[in-house]
Amino acid sequence: MIIERAERVLESRRLCDHCLGRLFAKLGKGTNEERGRAIRFVLNMERSRRGLPPLDEPETCELCGNVFERIPGLIGNMKTAAEGIEFETFLVGSRFPREVREREEVLWEEFGIETAEPINREFNRELGKAFGMATGKDTAKNPDVVFIVEPYSGRVELQINPLYIYGRYRKLVRGIPQTPLPDFEDSVASIICRPFSRTSGGKCVFKGAGREDVDVRMLGNGRPFIVEIKRPKKRRLNLDAIAAEINESGKVEVLDLRFVSPKEAEQVLTQNHRKEYLALVRVDDGVTPEEAKYVAERLAGLEIHQRTPWRVRNARADRVRVRKVHEAEARWLDEKHFELRLVTDGGLYIKELVSGDRGRTRPSVSDLLGKPAWCERLDVLNIFDD
């Protein structure tokens, strides 16, 4: 049946071995060119037995226009497109003109072909194999770069996939925001991104797993973050050297830098984190050691109903969030101050937990004391990975 169908096709179409073999791509093993050459050989033996002339491979294939002969030249175009770009893995895609794909589909329908594969799939595979042999690079499911090739014009578009780096940062000083803001010279993001951008030649995008206020330090084990580097020219980055440069700032310190996959990066940014805080609470009406201890005992294990804080109401959806205080300890300092160490669910606003935020957070430290209190100073001590 294969030989009979191939004969009917070749009697009306001038096809190269690639395009002939591709009609039967789902049958047997080997390349389509090898398959087409074998089918043509057996067919011509049969035709010779019947006294018929051979159906030899034409000088020009009417389906593909001998596009597979363009592969050596296209490899050169791909190398040119990737000049100055560091990569180890790649994939190839192609853009074939609509008329070529339509001619192929008409052929399948006319001869009832159900075992074929599209021309672009074979072309991508063959060009990828040839480019890998010419450069020593490997194909991969999640490659460093993707070449999009227009086979007939020779145009090559290079898509450079991002790099993702995981780390944790400590913000050692108050008075710098996490991301750039007007009137602030530096931010956590800018301090971290500068060496990444310079060494990679790409655009660095900083993404923190949550954030702290400008006047809050981030200490302890640090806040998880992801650096995404778009269109990097260099991928083999010395993360230890980059960390050392960031840490020299004296403002921000990074820990545990490592490369991660896009999926791992997403998990870091969407994971829930419990947080440990140290708040300095001020009570102008005065506070006793017993009152401080009472506040901590009541808060431990308590669910807090917190409407979006007044100060961020324009940037966050106005809704009530329920968060839990898991641990609470108090240390009385003087008649107006005590320290409150808290371990809470992520997303609980601690300043508002202390002040009550005009009744938007209940219960609050102010509620429990029965008099106004506010957070005079706040540090994030640790962020725990649940």
DSSP state of 238: -
Beta bridge partners of 303: 324
Cβ-in-10-Å burial (0-12, 13-18, 19+) of 142 comes to: exposed
Q: Is 294 among the annotated ligand-binding positions?
A: no
CA distances from 27 to 58, 104, 116, 294 (A): 24, 18, 9, 79
Residue with tokens 């506010």: 374
Asked if residue 294 lies in contact with residue 208, where contact means CB atoms within 8 angstroms, the answer is no
Residue 341 dihedral angles phi and psi, to the nearest 5° = -95, 130
Helices (H) and strands (E) in the chain, counts: 12, 14
Q: Is 277 among the annotated ligand-binding positions?
A: yes
Rounded to a whole number of angstroms, the distance between the first and last alpha carbons of the chain is: 62
In the set 138, 183, 213, 318, the catalytic residue is 213
Residues 6+ apart with CB under 8 A from 75: 127, 130, 131, 134
* Residues 73, 29: Cα–Cα separation, whole Å: 27
DSSP E strands, the chain: 89-94, 138-139, 145-149, 156-160, 163-171, 203-208, 217-230, 252-259, 273-282, 303-307, 320-334, 337-344, 361-362, 374-385
Asked if residue 90 lies in contact with residue 146, where contact means CB atoms within 8 angstroms, the answer is yes
> What is the amino acid identity at position 314?
N
CA distances from 382 to 188, 276, 325, 341, 385 (A): 17, 5, 15, 11, 10
Beta bridge partners of 331: 339
* Residues 118, 7: Cα–Cα separation, whole Å: 21
Question: Does the annotation mark 17 as catalytic?
Answer: no
Nearest to 253 by CA among 143, 176, 199, 144: 176
* Feature table: binding site for substrate: 277, 349
Positions annotated as catalytic residues are: 213
* Feature table: binding site: 277, 349
